[in-house]
Structure 1
């Protein structure tokens, strides 16, 4: 994880603001670096200034790869934010991925019948993983930039109204306006040799060229990853414990986790008495608990795993609870945090993990956020999630922000819920998120509605639509929120190979809304994942209901007394 920033301008570039420098350094606390270039244009009387800034959170390789990465032979510059898990289909684990990418981009200068730009684009297209990048190729004077196919890392763009400059950043330089998300639908380039004739003379041509991730024309292609299986089921079909797809999912998900939980360096200067390098955003629901269970099979038992569970004091819910107790005086008062749905499911799931994996040092970290504390951080959260600006954005951002901070009461025993456990800060710099499972395996209520209104044809179309728009969702926002704490969030369900497996599988091997499967009622939604959970010894988790994070943690509409504010309402 890194913070990257770049400016291309026809005028001298001032230093970045102290606020932006701090925001970038929060993302990458291990190194701060800058690189400058000046390009003489035409007959030498015109100059383009380029400034690149990178901060580094060192999680790959055996050393801190100081950025911006600069080629000693060509003078090219790479600002790299993210993780290349595979290049040309080959896994990368122990080496620094940014240095490998720059070396491959440099190697494209070798004699070839293929144009240099095509070589550069093919190198960038060969990467699997969550990335955002700025790459200035000094040989052809072109700047390439973009986000991965699923948009898992943040990159913003801001084009000056006067046309004299264009800026890029992992996080917005608030209160500067005009920032927009770079779309995750291709690789973009800016030709720095090109000029526009204006009444004032030649100016920088800020017209941007888009290069597709994959050539168009393939049927039912989604997210530039693979073709969606549109097949409809035969009359007789079932998804149960004997289905081969369940074991295939276990294999794919384990392979995804291997890349994301192994070879993580120990956090520097940790004050913790435990070796904890991985934490899980843990609601106690199906998606996160399966990740925890499979991570246990891979992470050395000498390392602990933290389970971060967040709950909020929502004044609106507190008022509702008081009203209920007034109407029913016999009801006992409940702890505002312990009553949160995600806390309830988290408490249930924790003992199951401990009993299933007794040789693992698990810590359940209960993050309790008072209303006043949440509001005191609101301005920072709003600036981090910018340019997103709705009530729903804020609800989700609050939950992710405090979860990533990782400060909470630490529990280590399955039944011993002490009234005053110690407060700790999780030292883990890698966070695992279960996001993506609902889109891949049919976990949303709208998928069941689609089946009821249009059968399997309508369900197939709805699943295809959901997966195709993952890159248009809010993962850039989530990246900005959580990276603020010097943490990197990783999405095992959104591994490209796992996504290819999911979209190539027929719908009836992922969810089954036609055949009600009983053994103590395993729901049809995400049934493949529920069957896997049961196989892993998580029987109760396999039967848990889905709940959105803003409702499970009770951040939804915290500022509304009536709860009638729409999620799409712009933040006041």
Structure 2
């Protein structure tokens, strides 16, 4: 995880070349990073802060530009700290990298997993490219979450973008003469509400050609400019093809499933999902370096953990925790971070026999039950249930920073979800609990696992049940699932990244591994969920039944039956002041 920032400022031509400016151009020097922006970038990457200044000189006395690249580093790959930005002084090429290359998808059947520092290996590949097609081929081959800015000074071209599923944040702000790219905004309570930051779409690779007359204008037939978008895939799309994020075609086969299509423990898709998820997790939980040593409030070394799970106790996150157990050495602990909030609106309606408002939260109840099941299934693992209790006063105190980190997202639903993720990543209880977590101790883990993506891939939302039962069976359900997975890159992962990374941690999404997603897209819908067979029993409810059966195969029958619950309701961050506020309302 890193924080990246880049500014490209064009110089303005003048008629008088004797004024001391190169090539007869003038420009306003790029201002230093604001204190707010410097702090937010450094919180994402506390291990290193680096900057590189560069320039561009157009041909034949054309436009010139000043460029400044900034990177902060959270060191999680390689044998030690690798400073950023990456720079090749002899050519002026520069790379700001925020992400993980798990594999380079090579030609044919060759697939390369990346050992060592992934950013350095990516930069080495980019430096060998002599033209845009070469750069695109390298970037399209990346498997993993990322945002990046790459400056190829010899060609005067600047590339930037987010991965095809939008798992890392990148914002942009532009004028006719400047382009600014950043992991986070510089919005503050005192700044203007119309601050023109926008989220970079995860729909392709963007290239700015500084040789063009209008490099920051998008290319179009009626107003040619210098900014071009390239799709994540160069595959030809025929009318009717359901191509998702350049990963593959969604299986829209809606013929009636075979008579024996009921999902069971022996179904091929159950075994395949377990294999796919194990391969994805192996990349994300093994070889994580030890975090910096920490000391608890009493001066003694605190328990060092490398991996923590954002843990509501639901199906998705508990399966990840259970499978992580099979991949880590026996002496490594795993933290289960569970958040609960004091919600004044809910507290006012609680019955008098409730003695602990946090333990009464739905996700706390589910979390403790699933924690107990993990202990029974994996008694040798050092699990720790990190109960994060957040008083209402503390929620209010942190609200301005959460709103700023969410930007440009700005609805009440964004705030409810962002608040839960913000305090989960901080992982500190504020109520003085001392049994399983201390009021002064956060988890040492720098890698957080999230179960996000399972509902979209395997049919876990209520609207999927409605699509099948009311709108037309598996054909309607397939259309609804296609809609969900196709818009993953356009939804809220950038917001989540900005909020979670604020505490110097990296969230990883095993269900959103490119190969797992590609496999899930190709499955017929009845091999994922089982709405044609609604009988309960040990199979659990039909939504996400393929994953429920994986949980059952892992020895967790109670987890296999858990129902879906949105984080803002499970942790009680939704509608803290009034039950009449709509999720789509703008944050005041």
Q: Fold conserved (TM > 0.5)?
A: yes
Work out which of the residue numbers 545, 550, 559 in structure 1 matches 2:577: 559
Match for residue 355 of structure 1? Answer: 376
Distance 1:516 1:194, change over 3 A: same
Q: When the two structures are superposed, what TM-score results if normalisation uses the length of structure 2?
A: 0.89
Contact 1:367 1:409 in 2 (8 A): yes
Report how many aligned residue pairs link the two structures. Answer: 542
In structure 1, the partner of 2:168 is 153
Counterpart pick for 1:262 among 268, 278, 286: 286
SS in 1 for 2:287: coil
Q: What CA distance in whole angstroms lies between the structure 2 residues aligned with 1:458 and 1:404?
A: 37
SS across alignment from 1:21: helix
Deviation at 1:41, TM superposition (A): 2.5
Is residue 569 from structure 1 mapped to residue 582 from structure 2 by the alignment? no
Q: 1:485 to 1:185 in 2, by over 3 A?
A: same
Partner of 2:97: 80
Give CA deviations for 1:357-398 in whole Å, capped at 9, x if unaligned: 111111000000000000000000000010001000000000
Question: Which whole-Å CA distance do the structure 2 matches of 1:420 and 1:298 have between them?
Answer: 24
Maintained 8 Å contact 2:309/2:317? yes
The equivalent of 2:317 in structure 1 is: 288
Give 5+ residue unaligned stretches, structure 2. Answer: 11-26, 216-223, 296-300
The residue correspondences of 1:122-271 to structure 2 (distance < 5 A) are 122-160=137-175, 163-174=176-187, 175=191, 177-196=195-214, 207-215=226-234, 216-217=236-237, 219-232=241-254, 233-236=256-259, 237-271=261-295
Q: Deviations over 1:381-435 (max 9, x none)?
A: 0000100010000000000000000113999xxxxx9879644310000000000
1:6 equivalent in structure 2: 6
Determine if the alignment matches structure 1 residue 542 to structure 2 residue 549. Answer: no
Q: Which residue of 2 aligns with 1:490?
A: 508
Deviation string, structure 1 residues 183-233 (Cα, Å, up to 9, x no partner) = 000000100111149xxxxxxx97421001112415211121111111234
Q: Which residue of 2 aligns with 1:39?
A: 56
Q: Take 1:383 and 1:418, find their aligned partners in 2: how far apart are those partners?
A: 32
d(CA) in 2 for partners of 1:231 and 1:47? 54
Q: TM-score, normalised by structure 1?
A: 0.92
- The answer as to 2:65 corresponding to 1:52 is no
1:516 is aligned to 2:534: yes
Q: Is the 8 A contact 1:172 1:384 kept in 2?
A: yes
- Give the CA deviation at 1:64: 1.2
Q: Secondary structure at 2:186's aligned position in 1?
A: coil
* Separation of aligned partners in 2, 1:409 and 1:16: 32
- SS where residue 349 of structure 2 aligns? helix
Instruction: Tell me the residue number matched to 1:481.
Output: 499
Match of 1:22 in 2: 39
| Unpaired runs of at least 5, structure 1 | 110-115, 198-204, 326-330, 412-416
Q: Distance in 1 between matches of 2:436 and 2:148?
A: 45
Alpha-carbon displacement from aligned partner over 1:248-276 (angstroms, at most 9, x marks no partner): 10000000001100111100132253331
**Residue 483 of structure 2: aligned partner:** 465
Specify whether residues 508 and 463 from structure 1 end up closer, same or farther in structure 2 by C-alpha distance, changes over 3 A only: same
Distance 1:506 1:14, change over 3 A: same
> Over aligned residues, Cα RMSD in angstroms?
1.9
Tell whether the 8 Å contact from 1:246 to 1:531 is kept in structure 2 after alignment. Answer: yes
Q: Answer yes or no: is the 8 Å Cα contact 1:277–1:427 preserved in 2.
A: yes
Checking the alignment, whether the CA contact within 8 Å between 1:93 and 1:263 is kept in structure 2 is no
Offset from partner CA, 1:472-517 (integer Å, 9 cap, x none): 1100000000100000000000000100111111111100111124
Question: Partner of 2:17 in structure 1?
Answer: none
For 1:420 and 1:42, locate their aligned partners in 2 and report how far apart those are by CA, in whole Å.
64
Q: Write the distance in 1 (CA, Å) between the matches of 2:551 and 2:437.
A: 30
Partner of 2:409: 388
Cα displacement (A) at 1:17: 0.6
